[in-house]
Amino acid sequence: QLLRTLFGLLVILTSLTEETLAHEGSCNELNLDDTGTCDITSPQQRDETALGLNALPVRIAVVTGQIQIPPTCGIWCDTTSDPSSPCRMDEDVVPCKTDFYCTTTCALWSLFTGMERPNISCAMFARFDGYPTDYHGAEPCDEMCLLPEIRKERYPAPTGIGLLCQTGTCYAAISSMAHLAEVAAVLECPCNWFGADCPDDWAPVQAINHTAIYGDIVATTLTVDVEDWKRIIENH
């Protein structure tokens, strides 16, 4: 029931924040890189990309043909010194579907197939970069655990076969409750992201305004006070 509630909020509230997030990432004179190109990624995202903890760049490179059939993760990763090296998941270890979701990095593969329970940053959580395995006590959620809007047909992340639950339950596999042994991967707080269970990290919304209509799409702006806005920007 908890998972149904959390992911239900994710689906509803993500649509409400799209306009706000678009403004956060707008190009301006403060975020041009050395070549004059707009860079809308946060410092944490750039750091995680260099560390191999952000799979999105290599996934895009594979599906757009910039990278041709990366090697299978596992022994091959032991031969490279670059943690961001792309590789394809060994489906005997981590079942996956489609080139996009089956592509990962050596750093992520080592983290989520290792012996220790993995820790996941908020940025990784927001990108669905976490895929704890059955060894850690995770499995694809039973359909009865999820609202129809977030079942695998519409939310195939993180590996193409749907959201992950703690084995035999409807509880999210990734949780901030590190004191519970059954939690498969530990979410680092603060994490003010929909679906996260970090405590006391919600910013009170002062107003909700429908600011524009584009056909069937309504752009919505959420208003928070200045200090909460600064905290949101700092953490994202």
pLDDT one-digit tens code per residue, 24-56:
344 443 343 444 444 445 556 668 888 889 999
Look at residues 51, 130, 136, 67 and name the one whose alpha carbon lies nearest to residue 99: 67
> What are the C-alpha distances in Å from 59 to residues 45, 55, 105, 233?
15, 6, 9, 26
Give the count of alpha carbons within 13 A of 56, CB side only.
13
pLDDT at 198 over 70: yes
Tell which wins on pLDDT, 23 or 80: 80
- Tell me the per-residue pLDDT of 119-148, one tens digit each, with 9 for 90 and over: 999 999 999 999 998 888 999 999 999 988
| Each residue's pLDDT tens digit, 3-16 | 443 444 343 333 33
Tell me which of 111-115, 197-201, 217-221 is least confident.
Answer: 197-201
Q: Return the pLDDT at 44.
A: 61
Cβ atoms 203, 233 nearer than 8 A: no
The tokens for 109 are 């593969």
- pLDDT recorded at residue 48: 87
- pLDDT at position 231, please? 77
Average pLDDT over residues 171-194: 91
How far is Cα 203 from Cα 192, in angstroms, rounded to an integer?
Answer: 8
Structure tokens at 140: 């694809």
Q: How far apart are CA 183 and CA 159, in angstroms?
A: 19
pLDDT average, residue stretch 47-75: 92
Mean pLDDT of 180-188: 94
Strands 217-223 and 164-166 come out as unpaired
Separation of alpha carbons 63 and 102, rounded Å:
11
Provide, rounded to the nearest whole percent, the portion of the chain with pLDDT above 70.
78
77 has pLDDT over 60: yes
Give the pLDDT score at 190.
84
- CB-count burial class (<10 Å; 0-12, 13-18, 19+) for 65: exposed
pTM value is: 0.69
Both structure tokens of 27: 């190009």
Q: How many helices (H) and strands (E) does the chain have?
A: 7, 9
pLDDT higher at 165 or 233: 165
Reply yes or no on whether the pLDDT at 171 is more than 80: yes
At residue 114, φ and ψ (nearest 5 deg) are: -80, 180
